Amino acid sequence: MPSVTTAAAGNSTDVSGRQRRYLIMMGIRIACLPLAVVTDGWLRWIFIVGAVVLPYVAVVVANATRRPASGELSPVPPKPRAELPAARTRDDRINE
């Protein structure tokens, strides 16, 4: 039985983190679109590449779920059981 303290974070934490990363990347992409129009030269090409490539990267990053690390769980040793007293034999009853 694994210990509770070594359990991974909940699924909702993972989903909210992936959503946050996706929205940040798409926000950068939205900023790249008008900047590609108002700039000239090599900077324009950087913004165009950002506007084209970022949606693919954002989807790949958003779909990448966290995998549980191997060996992260540690077993909990069972509690020692109390021993029963030794059974009385017939000889013990006769000697009393």
Task: Specify if 54 maps to a domain.
Answer: yes
In this structure, is residue 92 part of a structural domain? Answer: no
Question: What's the domain count of the chain?
Answer: 1
Instruction: Supply the pLDDT for residue 76.
Output: 77
In a domain, 26, yes or no: yes
64 vs 91, more confident = 64
Q: Coil, strand, or helix at residue 66?
A: coil
Please indicate, yes or no, if residue 27 is contained in any of the structural domains.
Answer: yes
Cα 29 to Cα 35: distance, rounded to the nearest angstrom: 10
**Average pLDDT of the chain, as a whole number:** 82
Taking residues 48-61, report their average pLDDT.
Answer: 93
Please give the residue range of the domain that contains residue 23: 18-66
Q: What is the pLDDT of residue 50?
A: 93
**C-alpha–C-alpha distance, residues 18 and 53, integer Å:** 18
In a domain, 24, yes or no: yes
User: Is 2 within a domain?
Assistant: no
Backbone angles phi, psi at 2, to 5 degrees: -75, 155
Residue 58, Cβ neighbours under 10 Å: how many? Answer: 19
Q: Residue 67 and residue 78: Cα distance in Å, rounded? A: 28
- Between 43 and 87, the higher pLDDT residue: 43
Is residue 28 assigned to a domain? yes
Domain assignment present for residue 83? The answer is: no
